[in-house]
């Protein structure tokens, strides 16, 4: 488990410190940043479940929720270096699978829409504030989920999903057809 936590610390540092994985930086991020504590608690929970140690998983889940405001289900799989930038209000349920270096910006929900399955989020995905990812869908590597988006369908690698329900766009693509162009306001006639 110590080796796994070290690997997590390295990947976490890679995300949190823009690629700096020097020994000093890795140790500092592991000891100082709360998002790493969330990840470490989850690793201990996973180990307790694997070893069938009663009550530890539940007790740590309560601590994780009460102290950090993030709820992670017991069957969720978290990849290395998952970064809960602002963990408050984040819920990951069921048997969702989260890849390496995924960043959650806060108030996110990853779960099921109709009890029909849970999402798979691949590596290096950014889940913006308030985003919801629901159902048996796949979010491709390097995708970006926009703020407050409600994602109900697969998102290909490297794409952007925005809106309610989310619409998928290639990054850098201009929106088209969603809303009519805005007209300049008419000038008011001034009477003297």
Per-residue three-class SS string for 13-44: HHHHCCCCCCHHHHHHHHHHCHHHHHHHHHHH
If one counts every other C-beta atom within 10 angstroms of the C-beta of residue 146, the result is 20
Averaged pLDDT of the chain: 87
Is the confidence at residue 54, as pLDDT, over 80?
A: yes
Domains present along the chain, CATH in parentheses = 2-170 (2.160.10.10)
DSSP state of 71: E
- Among the listed ranges 119-123, 125-129, 166-170, which one has the minimum average pLDDT value? 166-170
- Spatial strand order of the sheet with 144-145 comes to 83-84, 103-104, 126-127, 144-145, 159-162, 167-170
Is the confidence at residue 181, as pLDDT, over 70?
A: no
Band of residue 21 on the pLDDT scale cut at 50, 70, 90: confident
pTM over 0.85: no
Angstrom distance (rounded) from CA 129 to CA 122: 18
Is the confidence at residue 106, as pLDDT, over 60?
A: yes
pLDDT in tens, 137-180: 999 999 999 999 999 999 999 999 999 888 898 876 665 444 44
pLDDT of residue 192: 46
Tokens 């988006």 correspond to 149
Angstrom distance (rounded) from CA 144 to CA 122: 11
């Amino acid at each position: 488990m110590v080796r796994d936590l070290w690997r997590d610390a390295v990947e976490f540092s890679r995300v949190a410190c823009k690629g700096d994985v020097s020994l000093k930086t890795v140790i500092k991020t592991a000891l100082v940043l709360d998002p790493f504590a969330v990840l470490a608690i989850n690793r201990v929970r996973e180990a307790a479940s694997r070893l069938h140690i009663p009550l530890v998983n539940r007790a740590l889940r309560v601590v994780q929720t009460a102290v950090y405001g993030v709820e992670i289900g017991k069957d969720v799989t978290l990849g290395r270096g998952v970064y809960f930038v602002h963990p408050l209000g984040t819920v990951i349920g069921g048997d969702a699978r989260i890849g390496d270096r995924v960043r959650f910006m806060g108030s996110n929900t990853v779960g099921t829409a109709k009890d029909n399955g849970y999402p798979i989020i691949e590596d290096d995905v950014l889940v913006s504030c308030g985003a919801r990812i629901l159902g048996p869908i796949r979010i491709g590597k390097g995708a970006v989920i926009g703020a407050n988006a409600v994602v109900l369908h697969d998102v290909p690698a490297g794409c952007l999903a925005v809106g309610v329900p989310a619409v998928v766009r290639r990054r850098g693509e201009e929106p088209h057809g969603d809303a009519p162009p805005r007209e300049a306001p008419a000038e008011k006639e001034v009477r003297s």
